[in-house]
Amino acid sequence: MSLLHIAIVLPFIAAVFIPFLFKGFRNIHTGWFVLLVPLALFIYFIQYLPVTSGGQTVSKTFEWIPSLGINFNAHVDGLGLLFALLITGIGSLVVLYSIYYLAKEKEALHNFYVYLLMFMGAMLGVVLSDNLIVLYMFWEFTSISSFLLIGYWYDKERSRYGAQKSMLITVFGGLSMLGGIVLLYIMSGTFSIQELISMSGSLMQDPMFIPAMLLILLGAFTKSAQFPFHVWLPDAMEAPTPVSAYLHSATMVKAGIYLVARMSPVFAESGIWLWLVAGFGLFTLFWGSFNAVKQTDLKGILAFSTISQLGLIMSLLGLGAAALHFDQLDENIYMGATIAAVFHLINHATFKGSLFMVAGIVDHETGTRDIRNLGGLVNLMPITFTIALIGTFSMAGLPPFNGFLSKEMFLLATLEILEFNLFSMDTWGILFPVIAWIASVFTFIYSIMLLFKTFLGKLQLDKLPKKPHEAPIGMLISPIVLGALVIVFGFFPNLLSNSMIKPAVEAILPSLVDSGQEVYVNIYFWHGFTPELFMTIGIVLFGTLLYATLGKWQGIYNRIPEQFTINGVYDRGLEKGESGSFKLTEGIMTGYMRTYLLYIFGFFVAILLSTLVVRDAFSIDTSNLAEIRIYEVILAVVMIASAITILFAKSRLTSIIALGAVGYSVALFFVFFRAPDLALTQLVIETVSVALFLLCFYHLPEISRKEERMGFRFGNAVISILVGITITLIAISAYSNSSVFESISQYHIDNVYKLAAGGNMVNVILVDFRGFDTLFEICVLGVAALGIYAMVHFRGVRRQKG
């Protein structure tokens, strides 16, 4: 186990000690201890930067289940490191923020930090694992810890609802992903991502390729809240704000993005991948931004904004797949999409993290997050306002912040795809820039709305539960750091380009780098009067116009009826699923034994008769039959008559006696068939059985002594006649084919005296050749006798209770 492995599991190890620290040091906020973990990890991972920017990767092996090919192989490359730095860096800031956000007197901090550390470790495992099964394991760990964190205030009904919803959706996706992983393993024989990448060309030909891709994408889309699986994210906002900032903007929701980026080298050559990833991403971008304008809750706006921005990154990753179809790197315009995706990934983590923290501060200091009650906070909370301004302007894509740069690159990428002449991109591709532009207008509107409605306008002190004032400095540090990064990355984007973006892009498009060419990343602030600049100007103009007239057109949101929303479908689906399965169980499990017996006999008949028919197995062969004598015919008639009598007897006594008649005829048959021992036993046992039946009959309770004929039921009759026919047919067919092999009985006949010194073959077989059967048959009788004794003797448990 190398240091790298220890780094990945360090949060898990630390989580073990958190409850002790919480109990042991009551006067120190537990968060201070926790803070050390992500800080140390961040510093540790920084050390890998020179390695990956030099184009190198680090792999460390730790054998877990080598016989199944499941090994905890850590693999650090540009993409993994970028995520690891995001996770630990923003993790440190979020822990710092949470120290001031959560009060140590009121909250169950030990739970909170244990879950948070679990999540951090799981996330590191996801991004640094090379083995797909290990990746899946950590993936589900993130789902579980996210579930725990969303339900942190478990006494609130909304929290529990949100936690359950996110759990159901993400675990559904996770399981699909496992299916995809298994399919990949069947195709390739390996769980290692690096090995899969090296054989991606041959995988394309496999018939399982498309199903595997769809299943993996399902996992990625559910985790990253892509349409229509985005519904869990807004409800996850019931979590404490540090959790929302960390999990639901910067890290966990990007796990799906990571997976798509990571699996791109395997799948991206296929046109389906390009269309699915880019198409779903783009629609999510539009849908998220369109719905964000409707929200009135600060975190609601941010949740839909996160959905929309994730869609943006996803569609860029999809568009970036176009680059694989052109070999020349220096003129490959489609690579810009991947660069933009990585750049926006970093940008989004910075500004969205700070905005969530701002929302948390506003909530903490005013007591509400409803923008209808907020307003005019600019003078009271100037620092918070500044951070919010930076964050929202960056989110809207305005200069000079980093969001502007990545938005420009995004628009450029959607324009360039028009020149791509594969997969009917040149005709339908026109939708990409159009939808992207509309979505950007909505992004502008909700960003401005978020800022203006919270901080400008009239202060409504009477509507606020608390008297607002500026937040304590400790709470402001993290958003200030993130806001500063927004500006730094905005002015000096090339700080990142060689150290982080280039290695990440190389990891997403390895086949292009293999030919010895270098990815050239240079992000300009100003590159002349290009089409995308005019698009941005259009966004600002049009967005301002729409924001000014918001009240006039907001009514369109109410046009969509509740039951047609995705949430409505989810809720009704869950309800219908529950009531449907309840009805199904109610319908099948009636509680009557007759029903179950009907199922059993019906199944018996259906299987056997259909097999007989399908395999054409019925045969009849009269060559081997014994002759029929008149006695036997008479006996058979008597037996059949008594059996039928039982069915039609009115009195139970008659049926018991008829049963006895059947038993004695069986004994007579045994006589005819040369089985003296059987005849003897049958006679005795039939006598005792009839006596027992009579005993039972005598003890019938008075009320139901009323004798009645058995009611006729058509279904019963059909089933029982079918059972009888099946048995007869199979018996005849089996007997007709029975002379294929000799019986082994000649051995018994020959050796009964020689080896066992007996003359009665049946008895010798019972006690000598096959004595074991007899031993356990004696046991059966013994157990039955003991059971009867117990039933008769031990009674009264029920009476003592009653």
Partner 1 sequence: MEILMSIVVGVLFTSAVYLILSKSLLRVIIGTALLSHGAHLLLLTMSGLKTGDAPVLLDGVTSYTDPLPQALVLTAIVISFGVTAFFLVLAYRAYQELGTDNMEEMKGNESND
Per-residue binding string, partner 1, 720-739, x by CB under 8 A, is xx-xxx-xx--xx-xx--x-
Residues within window 292-321 making contact with partner 1, judged by CB under 8 A = none
Nearer CB in complex with partner 1: 373/720: 720
In whole angstroms, the minimum distance from the beta carbon of 573 to partner 1 comes to 28
603 is an interface residue for partner 1 by CB under 8 A: no
Q: Where are the alpha helices (DSSP H) in 321-401?
A: 335-366, 382-396
Q: How far is the CB of 631 from partner 1 (least distance, A)?
A: 11
| 423 interacts with partner 1 by CB under 8 A | no
CB of 574 to partner 1, least distance (A): 25
Q: Is 593 in the site for partner 1 (CB under 8 A)?
A: yes
Based on the shown chain and the rule CB under 8 A, indicate whether residue 613 belongs to the binding site for partner 1.
Answer: no
CB of 196 to partner 1, least distance (A): 54
Taking the complex as a whole, the smallest distance from the CB of residue 186 to partner 1 amounts, in Å, to: 46
Q: Which of residues 220-279 bind partner 1 (CB under 8 A)?
A: none
DSSP string, 426-454: HHHTTHHHHHHHHHHHHHHHHHHHHHHHH
**Is residue 800 part of the contact set for partner 1 (CB under 8 A)?**
no
Q: Minimum CB separation from partner 1 for residue 143, in Å?
A: 36
d(CA 70, CA 64): 6
Residue with tokens 């090339």: 494
Cβ distance 138 to 122 under 8 Å? yes
| Nearer residue to partner 1 within complex by CB, 558 or 746 | 746
Nearer to partner 1, 23 or 770 (CB): 770
Closer residue to partner 1 in complex, CB, 329/694? 694
# residues contacting partner 1 (CB under 8 A): 102
Q: How far is the CB of 687 from partner 1 (least distance, A)?
A: 11
Binding of partner 1 by 110 (CB under 8 A) = no
Q: Beta strands 74-76 and 58-60: pairing type?
A: antiparallel
674 sits in the region (left: phi over 0; alpha: psi -120 to 50; else beta) called left
337, 765, 800, 801: which one contacts partner 1 (CB under 8 A)?
A: 765
The Cα–Cα gap between 314 and 284 comes to: 9
Report if residue 745 touches partner 1, rule: CB under 8 A.
yes
Residue 757 binding partner 1, by CB under 8 A: no
The interface with partner 1 within residues 131-150 (CB under 8 A) comprises none
Which one of 61-69, 206-214, 313-321, 765-773 is the stretch in contact with partner 1 (CB under 8 A)? 765-773
Both tokens of residue 466?
């608390």
Question: 204, 588, 710, 755: which one contacts partner 1 (CB under 8 A)?
Answer: 710
- Among 456, 569, 700, 755, which residue sits at the site for partner 1 (rule: CB under 8 A)? 700
Q: Look-up: residue for tokens 């116009």?
A: 545
Residues 394-413 that bind partner 1 (CB under 8 A): none
Decide: is 617 part of the binding site for partner 1 (CB under 8 A). Answer: no
Closest CA to 236 of 246, 248, 220: 248
- DSSP strands (E only) in 397-459: none
Instruction: Return the residue of 103, 614, 630, 695 that touches partner 1, per CB under 8 A.
Output: 695
Rounded distance between C-alpha atoms, residue 301 and residue 392, angstroms: 12
> 492 or 673, CB closer to partner 1?
673
Site string for partner 1, 533-572 (x = CB under 8 A): ----------------------------------------
- According to DSSP, residue 615 is labeled T
CA distance between the termini of the chain: 64
Structure tokens at 654: 């008659």
State which of residues 54, 559, 780, 801 lies at the interface with partner 1 (CB under 8 A). Answer: 780
Region from 260-268, 331-339, 578-586, 776-784 binding partner 1, contact rule CB under 8 A: 776-784
If one asks whether residue 802 binds partner 1 (CB under 8 A), the answer comes out as no
Q: Is 606 in the site for partner 1 (CB under 8 A)?
A: no
The CA-atom distances, in angstroms, between 187 and each of 167, 179, 214, 429, 616 are 30, 12, 15, 32, 39
Other Cβ atoms within 10 Å of 400 Cβ, number: 13
Structural element, H or E, at residue 306: helix 298-320
Q: Cβ of residue 654: shortest distance to partner 1, in angstroms?
A: 11
Give the residue, chosen from 153, 275, 326, 697, that forms a contact with partner 1 under the rule CB under 8 A.
697
Q: CB of 682: closest distance to partner 1 in angstroms?
A: 6
C-alpha distances in angstroms, 131 versus 45, 194, 317, 502, 633? 20, 9, 22, 24, 75
* Closest to 78 in 3D by CA, of 489, 500, 498, 511: 500
| Residue 284: both structure tokens together | 């999510």
CB 631 within 8 A of CB 672: yes
The dihedral built from the CA positions of residue 449, 455, 457 and 463, taken in this order, carries a sign that is positive
Structure tokens at 390: 């930076």
3-state secondary structure 59-91: EECCEEEHHHCEECCEEECHHHHHHHHHHHHHH
CB of 577 to partner 1, least distance (A): 23
Candidate ranges 236-244, 307-315, 411-419, 623-631; the one touching partner 1 (CB under 8 A): 623-631
Length of the chain: 802
Residue-by-residue DSSP string for 11-48:
HHHHHHHHHHHHHH-TTS-HHHHHHHHHHHHHHHHHTT
Tokens for 236, please give them: 């996850």
Give 383 or 638: the residue with its C-beta nearer to partner 1: 638
Indicate whether 585 belongs to the interface with partner 1 (CB under 8 A).
no
Query: The tokens of 51 are what?
Result: 């390695």
Quick note: the x/- pattern for partner 1 over 647-676, rule CB under 8 A, is x----x--xx--x--xx--x--xx-xxxxx
Give the range of 233-241, 267-275, 407-415, 702-710 binding partner 1 by CB under 8 A.
Answer: 702-710
Per CB under 8 A, which region of 130-138, 550-558, 563-571, 774-782 contacts partner 1? 774-782
Binding flag, residue 16, partner 1 (CB under 8 A): no
Per rule CB under 8 A, is residue 773 in the interface with partner 1?
A: yes
* Residue of 598, 608, 612, 617 that binds partner 1 (CB under 8 A): 598
Interface with partner 1 by CB under 8 A: which range of 83-91, 112-120, 341-349, 773-781?
A: 773-781
Return the half-sphere exposure (C-beta side, CA atoms, 13 A cut-off) of residue 594.
6
Q: In 10 A of CB 26, how many CB atoms?
A: 10
Fill in the amino acid letter for 649. A
Among 164, 296, 567, 774, binds partner 1 (CB under 8 A): 774
Query: Is residue 760 within the footprint of partner 1 (CB under 8 A)?
Result: yes
**Distance, CA of 267 to CA of 271 (rounded, Å):** 9
If one asks whether residue 719 binds partner 1 (CB under 8 A), the answer comes out as: yes
Residue 709 as a binder of partner 1 (CB under 8 A): the answer is no
Nearest in space to 716 (alpha carbons), one of 727, 728, 724: 724
CA distance 364 to 100: 10
744 binds partner 1 (CB under 8 A): yes
Q: How far is the CB of 627 from partner 1 (least distance, A)?
A: 6
Separation CA 254–CA 251 (nearest Å): 5
Say if CB 184 and CB 197 are below 8 A apart.
no
Q: Whose Cβ is closer to partner 1: residue 106's or residue 798's?
A: 798
Residue from 108, 620, 634, 755 in contact with partner 1 (CB under 8 A): 620
Kindly identify the residues of this chain, within the stretch 633-652, that bind partner 1 according to CB under 8 A: 633, 636, 639-640, 643-644, 646-647, 652
612 binds partner 1 (CB under 8 A): no
3, 473, 613, 692: which one binds partner 1 (CB under 8 A): 692
